[in-house]
Amino acid sequence: MKAIMVDIETLGTSPDAAIISLGMAAFNDSELIATAGLAIRPADWHGDIDPSTVHWWMQQSAEARMFSFNGTGTAADAALQLHHFIQQYGGEETWANDPSFDIVKLRQWWGRQNLAAPFPIHYRTERSLRTIIALAKELHIVLPGSAGTAHNPIDDAANQARTVLAARTGLRAGRIY
């Protein structure tokens, strides 16, 4: 299995929320293969900005804010990096903490970029981290803790990929599927 985990940081929760950074992690059945990501420069934060989300950000760690709020990449750079990462590492499965948040916003954001390339995530590949976590907890599968900085999208994508790996290992050991 070739899989990609995507994680975004935004300034809102609507489908048209401004995306300020994104992270990706590539993994297979047994290991995390690669990570990448980019913080977008403020001039390219196109989309809805919700004051309550900005307030929430002010409550997060300085490290998380340092990454996402000091971006120098353009939105086009971020889109190109996402496209190349998925092409390079596959995309049989595209995971997100929840596709109804991350992938919906990415798809809307992609459309606002006026890019020639089609959106690189096919709806048939979308997988939900929340679903596999709920199943793992129900079956008492031990999941790993987080490493790195919470709300840094690269660290979050890597942590979420490791969670999928642990959940799948536990499911296979129990011969659930």
Mean pLDDT of 3-28: 98
- pLDDT on residue 177: 44
- Structure confidence at residue 175 (pLDDT): 55
pLDDT at 22 over 70: yes
Provide CB contacts within 8 A for 19, sequence distance 6+.
8, 9, 10, 40, 45, 47, 75, 78, 105, 106, 109
Domain enclosing residue 153, as ranges? 3-173
Amino acid identity at 12: G
CATH number at residue 54: 3.30.420.10
pLDDT digits (tens, 9 = 90+) for 66-93: 999 999 999 999 999 999 999 999 879 9
The answer on pLDDT for 49 being more than 60 is yes
How many structural domains comprise the chain?
1
Distance CA 162, CA 54 (A): 29
Mean pLDDT of 144-170: 96
**pLDDT averaged over the chain?**
95
pLDDT band of residue 173 (cuts 50, 70, 90) is confident
